[in-house]
Amino acid sequence: MGNSLEYYQKSVLLKALPLSEKVVDAFYQHPRHLFVPEYTLEEAYADHPLVLYNQPPFTSTISQPSFVLRILDLLKLAEGQKVFELGTGSGWNTAMMAFLVGPTGRVVSIEVIPELAQRAAEILQLRELTNVIVRAGDGFEGAPDKAPFDRVIFTAGSHEFPFRVFTQLKEDGWMVFVRKTPGIHDTLELIHKLNGQPHVVTSVPCSFVSVVRQKGGLDSKDSHP
């Protein structure tokens, strides 16, 4: 007999701890395996990335679960906040953020791969999340019509700093950005916006897929779960 869901979830939490109680609640509220139905329960909770889509030039993965939870903790999401996410992927991170900002908050997530955007939107709709907007388009453009944002999170890495997205972040807001540097590992940066300027507060070695830009810019058609 295989291990139970509770066993796999606890194994993830043990690797991710310490975490805030709210992030743990979000993890249980939106079980990871529901967002990757193509994988077994054991695979879904294994502490490594899983491939969601691989048709060049597009590649998408869902990051290892313990790392996703640590990143959520870094953002310190609160009730009523508005969040911008580049890279919807499976929609799992999107769902947990929607839980953390609550019904008075909003998560705007942009996915460059249309098939993944549609799939994530459908799963989020099944989860009855009404405070999420999913768009298919170029996340590097941000979502100026929904700005300003209290928080910004990148789930893909870039050599170029996203100044257009940064301008959509509120003063005193926080951004998680993944910086790619040739020849060395990626770096996850927690950035605080002070006096209109980015200040890196925390940096952590990591590995993420690269941001892929979409020709023609942002498709502004919304998908409301």
Annotated catalytic residues are 63
DSSP 138-186: -GGG--TTT--EEEEEEEEEESS--HHHHTTEEEEEEEEEEE--TTS-E
Cis peptide before 56 (omega within 30 of 0): no
- The backbone region for 153, taken as left when phi is positive above 0, alpha when psi lies in -120 to 50, beta otherwise, is beta
* Structural tokens at position 78: 């609160």
CA–CA gap between residue 84 and residue 142 (Å, rounded) = 7
Pick from 61, 62, 75, 60: which is nearest to 26 by CA? 75
